[in-house]
Chain A
Amino acid sequence: MSLVNYLVLSAILFSVGATTVLLRRNAIIVFMGVELMLNASNLALVTFSRMHGNLTGQVLAFFVMVVAAAEVVVGLAVIIAIFRTRKSASVDDVNLLKS
């Protein structure tokens, strides 16, 4: 099986994740989209690692996982804080930056 298929899968997953982030309103779902994009990129990194025959890509994938874990912690905390004050998890209700 060609390695290119992994890259195609990665691209599809990234697109699904990006579309989720752009289109969905629920903050939790948006968050899941972000995770999907991160994992799509991880898949691409691992594939490239295999293609080039070195471990750089895999190491980078671990870094991404660590950062993603930290990001989840912070992100979920933010979402819960917003939910407590606004009684809503919709990202459209968080628009204080609107001019």
Chain B
Amino acid sequence: MHTLTAIAAALPTGVPAATIGPAGDTDLVGAGVFLVAPLLIGVPLLSAAILLVLGRRTDRWGHWLGVLASAASFVAAAVAFFALLGRPSDQRVIDVNLGDWIDAGGFVLHAGIRVDPLSMTFVLLVTFVGSLIHVYSVAYMEHDTDRRRFFAYLNLFVAAMLTLVLANSYLLLFFGWEGVGLASYLLIGFWNHNTPYAVAAKKAFVANRVGDVGLVIALGLMFAHFGGVDFRTVLSAKPDQGVATAIGLMLLLAACGKSAQFPLQSWLGDAMAGPTPVSALIHAATMVTAGVYLIVRSAPIFDAAPDAQLVVVIVGAITLLFGAIVGCAKDDIKKALAASTMSQIGYMVLAAGLGPIGYAFAIFHLVTHGFFKAGMFLGAGSVMHGMDDQVDMRHFGGLGRYMKITYFTFMAGWLAILGIPPFSGFFSKDKIIEAAFVPQDGQDWRAWVFGGVALIGAGITAFYMSRLFFMTFEGQKRWSTRRDGTDQHPHEAPALMTWPMIVLAVGSVLCGLVLSLGGRFVDWLEPVTGHVEEHDAVLPTWALPVLTLAAVIVGLVLAWRRYAVSTVPVVPPVGTLLTRAARVDLYQDSVNNGLLVEPGKHLTRSLVYADRAGVDGTVVGVSRLPVGLGELTRKIQTGFVRSYAASMLVGLVVLVAVVLAVQS
């Protein structure tokens, strides 16, 4: 075991590609407090192992162990964060070396942890929101006999997610990447006795594997061209444009799989089969944003590949519209929120594709989104808790009077995602829209197209989120009966559930304002994302917030008229062509089915046929030859003594005749 050593990279501010020095020019500042970094991963992992290995024996206290492990991780994260904050901003990239991982001839890879502003932002988000959701789950999963297993998986997820963001090489990142995929699979299919849920888990797993292929190919390309896969090597290499484009597109494929971006987005809606805290933590706040992390982390590669960046922006723009349109038609409260998550991550990916001007805003929106979306998912969980696990919003209505805390916390998240000042979404989303309106490479059309999409997306977001809010909390009661036939009695959730919601609501209100004061979040990320000069948008500075707000208010008012003032039909109306398409995810499943599944089935069938006819046929044919011969010859064996005697006699006569013929 190698002794733990920490290497702090002295990193001047500026564009990362140019500044991360070779391994030689690092100063060996004592690792000190940053040695807590491995504990961040270790504690939840140990807790998960204990819960899984000891099994039912931990049923009584297992959930509290899970909460404790997550909270301990948060405390360690806070310690590391303040230590990092105490350093000058050009010394905030620290590699903690944990020893050799792979030592194969010329290829040496150290397992190590990178503590820098970007990874610490994620670590704080994951451990903080994660801990709150752990607490929430204690109450939410109270009546589930497998609560202990649930917490084991949650802890496993936290450990894997922290590995993903703290890794200092793409290979270790990949390890965490697969770990979160596994945890996501286990948690979506947590109630796997229900077949559709198990199928949903499998769908998520397979869609993620498609993306993972991209990451594996990217790893191979990095190794082939840069001779290494650690961040230090890869991000300081100056790849030519072709290599950078190839790697960038493969990384984008990986990001699409993990972050449910077009065209790999179809799994996210079905992933709502998992328990609601899982949807809040994994499928809203943290795991699905890993794709954005990957793109921002690989910034130097994307900066060297404008073509790949353009594809990233296009994918983000398509997904943000796609998610928004789907969100307008969904009646299932969780699926509507999932569509919204997809759409919001589309914003982040769009921002990340804009290059240095967008990286910090992508991460900023990611953080605020983590708060408000997790809060809203927990609110949805609270509604389901009070409404006997009903998820159809057409059977809600007027719930605001019965669950006050849920109502107000959800309202905070709703106003935040709409981008109403001074809620947090206003600060993060507006920045992305502004950045989208900045012309790239002097091409004005890009500013107009992508800026326009972002602006329209904001309007649609306002519409569908307001629709969701009004259908659930306002208007008339459209309640159906409970599953046992009695009337619904909506009630507020217990304190263990409401407090996490309150904390997240406070975050939804304040974190945008606090973090953007004096541009402090952007400054904080500067060691990773680089310093950016102000750019001029194609529209004047005052016009953009006004236009965005106008779009939001139009969406809000439309939703108010349709879903709060007028009666919402309990049976969904047939709707327009677009509505019907949006209800089935714009035929995404049918397209996947027709394009991939059916041809795949045909291919399999033909292969099976070729195997049976060709390979099996040959083998079986060869084996039939002796069998057939045997069939023919066995008729000679009659079992009659005299036929044997006759053949002997005939044989003898023939023999004698031959001998005589030869002799004469």
Contacts and interface: CB of A to CB of B under 8 A. Distances in A.
A97 B641 CA distance: 10
Interface string B628-641: 00000011011111
Contacts of B637: 97-99
Contact of B640 (A18, A95, A99): A95
Interface string B612-649: 00000000000000000000001101111110011001
Contacts of A21: 642, 645
A30 B641 contact: yes
Contacts of B638: 95, 98
A60 B115 CA distance: 109
Interface residues of A, number: 13
A23 B639 contact: no
A92 B643 CA distance: 10
B639 A97 contact: yes
Contacts of B645: 21-22
B642 A98 contact: no
A66 interface: no
A73 interface: no
A12 interface: no
Contacts of B635: 99
A23 B649 contact: no
A8 B634 CA distance: 39
A91 B649 contact: no
A21 B648 CA distance: 12
B634 A91 contact: no
A38 to B, nearest CB: 14
Contacts of A23: 642
Q: Which residue, of B634, B635, B637, B642, has the highest number of chain A Cβ atoms within 10 A?
A: B642
A6 B634 CA distance: 42
A95 B641 CA distance: 8
Interface residues of B, number: 11
B46 to A, nearest CB: 71
Interface in B212-236: none
Nearest to B645: A21
A23 to B, nearest CB: 7
B649 A22 contact: yes
B639 A96 contact: yes
A59 interface: no
Contacts of A92: 640
Contacts of A30: 641-642
A69 interface: no
A36 to B, nearest CB: 14
A18 B639 contact: no
A18 B264 CA distance: 89
Nearest to B633: A99
Nearest to B642: A22
A95 B638 CA distance: 8
A94 interface: yes
Contacts of A97: 637, 639
Interface in A18-38: 18, 21-23, 30
Contacts of B649: 18, 22
Contacts of A96: 639
A78 B637 CA distance: 21
A64 B70 CA distance: 104
Q: Which residue, of A21, A95, A99, has the highest number of chain B Cβ atoms within 10 A?
A: A99
Nearest to A19: B649
Nearest to B637: A99
A17 to B, nearest CB: 11
A65 B639 CA distance: 29
Interface in A45-99: 91-92, 94-99
A94 to B, nearest CB: 7
A21 B641 CA distance: 9
Contacts of B640: 91-92, 95, 98
A94 B641 contact: yes
Nearest to B644: A97
A18 B646 CA distance: 9
7 contacts: A22-B645, A22-B646, A23-B642, A91-B641, A94-B639, A98-B639, A99-B635
Interface of A: 18, 21-23, 30, 91-92, 94-99
* Pairs of residues from A and B, 4 with the lowest C-beta to C-beta distance, nearest first: A98-B639, A95-B639, A99-B634, A91-B641
Given A18-B649, A95-B638, A97-B639, 5 more contacts: A22-B642, A22-B649, A95-B639, A98-B639, A98-B640
